[in-house]
Amino acid sequence: MGSQFVGRFVGANSRERDRAVLAAVVFAVMFSQLLLYPGIATLVEALGADAASSPFAATALDASMWFLVAEFAAYVAFVGVWGAVSDVFGRRTPLIVAGSLAGACGYAALAAVPAIGSIPFEGVLLVRVFQGAMTIGAFSLTITMLMDLEGGHGRNMGAAGIAIGLGAALGAPVGGQLTEIDPLAPLVVAAGLLVCVGLAVSFVGDRAPGSRRSARALLDGIRKRPSLSIPYAFGFVDRMTAGFFALVGTLYFQETFGLEAGATGLLLACFFAPFALLQYPMGALSDRVGRAVPIVVGSLCYGVGILAVGAAPSVATAAIAMVAIGVLGALVSPTTMALVTDLAAENERGLAMAGFNLAGSLGFLGGFLVGATVAGNFGYDLAFLVVGGLEIAIALVAAPAFLRLSLDSSESVVDRSETG
């Protein structure tokens, strides 16, 4: 009896340590990505963006857009490849190490472009695609390793969520300060961080199911789980709202309330601070109460909150609404990722999480495109109505599906047995 207790205690400590390390890795990858955003226009200029030599650099905005799109396109194209390969071979750690070190080489190669001086901007974009293709492997498979941990899917995905939120919240301001020192400094720091990622993850136990599967069997298994479309749909819409606020929300606050960049950042922080800090406790809450209530009710309220932000008559009321949707976003985000873990078979988690990240990347791009298009053609009021309405609609459509799944009680029992 005593040896069994000691074994459980040691196992729990090992699990907590690995969860912390993996969350730190997710944070580092997200943080390194966001370092580049504040000084993007200055960065592409330093990398040789020139309207006279490249159609992709007609303006600073065009060059910046294509530099960001190149990375997101690589995410979309390669995230499924990484997930499938990890499931086929039953290993995650060596792939994360390879992806992070190759991604570091990509960042370092970009930083070296001005010293080389003869690479056209199209070549820079190809290096960016390579860097993105490698980085998404490290990011997605680290979250998959969190899925493989015991101790509660909500807790594990809450750890991933808080890492993503803090990386996004801290990466941009730090990147802005680095850009003031040197436009290439964010690239150098990002390369160093990914080297650290490769070293750190090598000390975490690889808990992926060891059995190998053919690619055909893997795809057949995923196709037989149409219920995964539920968290994918929520992930798409949730990331769409994030992309919407990152672009349209920023412009809306500045034009409507006459805010400067600093005040706009503080207003956005009203969302990002609770969104980042509450992910872990909210994920743990979903282990206790199930997934349906946090996702469906949370999404309904989240959509209403977006509408409230668009209707806020003052900065103070807008800030209160932003805090509210930050809390609701923290409730929905880790619970949705935990639902992916609930639904996917153990030896299909890599591809299942890759699908979720693919939906999220497309949603983020959709937030840029849909939000900017609607706001530009029909005004901010309709843009908020469309994005908030989509969040409400997906919750209403998905509610009957949750009832059919009958997932909540069974998963709670499983999680309690794992932690007990």
pLDDT tens-digit map of 151-168: 677 788 888 888 888 887
pLDDT at 189: 96
Most confident of 73-77, 187-191, 284-288, 410-414: 187-191
Quote the CA–CA distance of 280 and 160 in Å, as a whole number. 8
The vertex-73 CA angle with 68 and 74, nearest 5°, equals 100
Q: Integer distance in angstroms from the first to the last C-alpha of the chain?
A: 15
Quote the CA–CA distance of 113 and 191 in Å, as a whole number. 14
pLDDT at 9: 39
**Residue 386 corresponds to which tokens in the numbers above?**
């469309």
Task: Give helix 408-419 / helix 279-289 axis angle, nearest 10°.
Answer: 110
**Residue 322 corresponds to which tokens in the numbers above?**
């932003």
pLDDT at 413: 37
Coil/strand/helix, residue 207:
coil
* Section 19-47 average pLDDT: 87
Closest to 96 measured CA to CA, from 84, 82, 80: 82
Please say whether the dihedral angle defined by the alpha carbons of residues 332, 335, 341 and 344, taken in this order, is positive or negative: negative
* Section 245-253 average pLDDT: 77
pLDDT at 24: 92
pLDDT at 69: 80
Give the CA distances from residue 106 to residues 114, 143, 401, in Å, rounded to whole numbers and listed in that order.
14, 22, 43
Q: Report pLDDT digits (tens) over 164-219.
A: 888 877 887 788 888 888 989 999 999 999 999 999 998 887 777 655 555 555 45
**Residue 40 corresponds to which tokens in the numbers above?**
């993007």
* Section 67-85 average pLDDT: 85
Closest to 141 measured CA to CA, from 203, 208, 76, 195: 208
Quote the CA–CA distance of 160 and 148 in Å, as a whole number. 13
For the ranges 1-15, 198-212, 249-263, which has the lowest average pLDDT?
1-15
Q: CA torsion 120→123→125→129, rounded to 10°?
A: -170
Question: What structural domains and CATH numbers belong to the chain?
Answer: 1-212 (1.20.1250.20), 224-420 (1.20.1250.20)
At residue 138 the predicted structure's pLDDT band, cuts being 50, 70 and 90, is: very high
Specify burial of residue 156 (Cβ count, 10 A radius: 0-12, 13-18, 19+): buried
* Residue pair 163/26 in contact by the 8 Å Cβ criterion: yes
Please say whether the dihedral angle defined by the alpha carbons of residues 326, 327, 332 and 334, taken in this order, is positive or negative: positive
Q: How many residues does the chain have?
A: 420
416, pLDDT greater than 70 = no
Coil/strand/helix, residue 278:
coil
pLDDT at 229: 81
**Residue 362 corresponds to which tokens in the numbers above?**
């497309």
